[in-house]
A and B are shown apart, each in its own frame.
Chain A
């Protein structure tokens, strides 16, 4: 791999990083925090939630920082009134898409979507809410999926595929009909490829996948993915 250093500016700060780095990882090296939801260190970037959109000088287009490779000479802006409004809009659309009622959610106070909405001051949703009413699948011995709270970030799908290596979870359909499924759209108890490893519950940023009867703060452990990836590198 070419490790030719790339020089760019992020929020006016000179940054030097290796080729192939993304704007998000480059920003992290200089302590600039860009908000994310679907991104999780250790998994392939997905660029689905659009919360990490940033401005790049020379173009009007916004780029997802998690999935955009750096280029020499790039000038990136991560915080601006325009981006702030975009991020608020993204959060509102996520809230409007399904049924999110924090007060009675199992992930209340331990939810990344809730943290971001609080941080961005999203106290109202100005879009018509869908109020989805999907059946909850709790047929697994201890894992439960409530698709009404799913934000389709695909962290669970990617963790299941890339880290556990079984690909039990995937997506079906497109657009507003998209849903996370198990095997061939089976009930979880019938999904024989599932190893019950709990990684899906550990990485879920909201209260969509959880372990029944377990305190959510003990279940959630998204950093475990980066830990596993690093350990595996050591084994090679």
Chain B
């Protein structure tokens, strides 16, 4: 079965991704509402949207880093620029997310073209520092001097006095919500069954559809001659140059594409929650997408998405586990044991969520050099081997890397 120009394996892969994305509201809500483990449920609209959006961001980053090996340390700038463009669209034009997202992608693409054109004159760490410098300049200026455009520390928000020239009926005494031709992003429907509450949010499904398209495009890029060229840049730039090929236009194209992905993510973030803050452009945010990609597995298709989900999950779920929750979990234990256990766990949850994340970074990179994708491959390999043993095959068939 082939589909949309993909071969059979890739089609299957894409269909799996589509299925996973569509069933996310179920998959992330495995625990019953009144059980102690409900704390670990992540199936609420905001986090699901973030999974999809940061997945897009990381997929885009991976097109640059995973294929060409250029490590940009300033990609958050494009995300930030995308967010600002989108919010300005909401303020000036209309609450419809389409023009906002389009403008976000265009503006960030142009910004990436400018920065990429300059930064790609250097390679290796010199390139990384150039991109970092541009992003930090954008952040610092957005926080201070550019406040008339960015609203500085507070972040750009909607106000009651915005013009919104395309939908004047939205100007009332309360703030309108973002929408897609009348379908409001913060709408959701809920389904209660088996003691679980599943939330189907309009915003999430909009993000999910866009994420699938983004994933499909990245899949096509990975499989295309263009993708092959980018990989060649990573493997040996000098040899490419000797063959008379100028690699820079290819690298620049990859840079701009990944910048547009970042802008798309930024525009979507603003569409789900119309606020654009300067911290989105800080180096820590750029570092975060680098970490997501490496953590998940750089150069693989699925890895960056896993990495993005992993980090966002810890940030949003682990930071909310406080002592009160711990007491709730261990209430069945004898007092002394309960207190001892809580003292033991306490530093790793709630305000200590950074500690857990840092340790997991180290563990993953030490034991899984290929990132989380390698974990998946190993588990899959384990099953395959067992199956192979059951059939008493010799099992010497090489496993294909599951990208």
Q: Do A and B truly interact? A: no
B residues at A contact (CB < 8 Å): none
